[in-house]
Structure 1
Amino acid sequence: MKKILKILVLILILTACSSQGKVKNPATQEYKAGTGNIQGNVDVDKYLKIDQRFEIGADKDGMAVFKDPHKAYQALTEKYSDGIRLIQNEFDLEDLSESSYEFYKIYGGQVETGTPEEKDQARFVSGFFDIYENSFE
């Protein structure tokens, strides 16, 4: 009986974990500002010049989304770790994760310490999450 209970608990945990980070609004069209139902004016070339994993499309409603938000998040953490660390330290935040980023989005543009490069990275982090969150809301 204990073994069956352990297996059931494991199945429940795996099921709960697999639903976290599930993309609700995938890219279904190209993002080209000013066309069709596209909303906003995101500079997609700016993101692509930084890393191909930042490739942006649009969801069915025309909102900018990363074509692969999980890969985009990975690129962010690799390339913008100094900005992430600055936000975390200045505002005493918990570690950043794919599902826990709201305060990083809010505070990235408000940093007052750090080098100019770290501040630029922190601002980029905020802009990144403005797009990133569209995939999950």
Structure 2
Amino acid sequence: MSEESPKYARGMATRRSVLGDAHVDATIARRTEFDADFQAFITETAWGDLWSRPAISRRERSMLTIALLAALGHDEEVAMHVRATANTGASPEDIKEALMHVAVYAGVPAANRAFRIAREELARTGRLLKEETGA
């Protein structure tokens, strides 16, 4: 794995497009010798390979990713990918539908927790309407 490889460059471009420059810059700033190989690995593999595949849209990948992370209880990653939907085209309605699937296929407690996280992130970023927040 090399930061000079075409796959790394493609992955970094995709990662920045989905997560935003501020998030990626902060991650790079926190990178250490200990986790540098891991960061290169996820940039090449997750972002350079998987997220760069053309068969489905980034909107669809967002929905799948949020559902999987919610089902597995990865709360910080759920929050990050809910924020990323601002860049992928997945709407709050899309997120809701993905989490409804989580309730049936992974359990109501997992969906309940993910709905709370998604609601908080969407409200924090101004993507929920006032009537949706109860304000």
Q: TM-score, normalised by structure 1?
A: 0.27
Q: Which protein has the bigger helix share?
A: 2
- Greater gyration radius: 1
